[in-house]
Amino acid sequence: RRVKRDVLKDLPRKYEQIVQVDMSPLQRRLYKAVLAKTLPAFVNGNNSAKRGHMYSMNNTFMQLRHCCNHPYLFDGAEQRDPTTGEYTNDEHIVLNSGKLMVLDKLLAKLQERGSRVLVFSQMTRVLDILEDYMFLRQHRYCRIDGNTPGEEREDQIDAFNADGSNIFCFLLSTRAGGLGINLATADTVVLYDSDWNPQMDLQ
């Protein structure tokens, strides 16, 4: 039985890089709209009102995270065909999110050099958007989140780790994919968003 200290000696050195990302114009508008709606009531209210607003503030923080991750997390923000009203999956899904613009460029470089990538997010709805992106760019991918049945979970892992596998990306929810999964055939990890608890990201 190999223990952790023995395995660590065989692993390549880990390099970490934090990438600062600007928001898209749509993200900025939504971000300012969320603040304009909530902040005055909290700042100008009395102590009792402020206590009553704490739940509202927590909800605001989540909405601001949505703004930063992708504006299409807000109902009605997604771009639709002007004649049919149907959602269209094209370049706007990338151009309306600063994070996705950076991820798009990063994945292009990683694919060119033959890397295989794990992309983690806290939100399953973000994974839904990333699936649309994978389809747009025709990247082969797998996905595991909290709703993935155990048998399908194992099938996805086996498919990714198989000899000669051409699956480029694995999309995972941080809490569902952080423990008990062996995806050692990947060489790059992207944390699309950070957990409130840094220990979750370290796992």
Which tens digits make up the pLDDT trace of 34-93? 988 877 666 666 555 555 556 577 788 899 999 999 999 998 888 777 777 777 789 999
What pLDDT shows up at residue 176?
Answer: 77
Lowest-confidence pick of 17-21, 22-26, 108-112, 131-135: 17-21
Residue 59, both tokens: 């909800």
Is the distance from CB of 186 to CB of 116 less than 8 angstroms? yes
d(CA 134, CA 128): 10
> Cβ distance 77 to 30 under 8 Å?
yes
CB 142 within 8 A of CB 89: no
Q: Does the pLDDT value for residue 18 go beyond 80?
A: yes
pTM score, two decimals? 0.85
The dihedral sign for the CA sequence 166, 4, 172, 121? negative
**Angle separating helix axes 47-69 and 25-44, nearest 10 degrees:** 170
% pLDDT > 70, the chain? 82
How far, CA to CA in Å, does 60 sit from each of 31, 38, 91, 93, 108? Answer: 10, 7, 28, 23, 34
- Domains of the chain from N-terminus onward: 93-203 (3.40.50.300)
How is residue 117 annotated by DSSP?
Answer: E
**pLDDT at 84 (0 to 100):** 76
Q: So what's the pLDDT on residue 76?
A: 83
Mean pLDDT of the chain: 86
Reported as type and span, the H/E element at residue 155 is: helix 150-161
- pLDDT tens by residue, 136-177: 999 999 999 989 998 999 999 999 999 999 999 999 998 776
Comparing CA positions, the residue from 41, 38, 95, 99 lying closest to residue 63 is 38
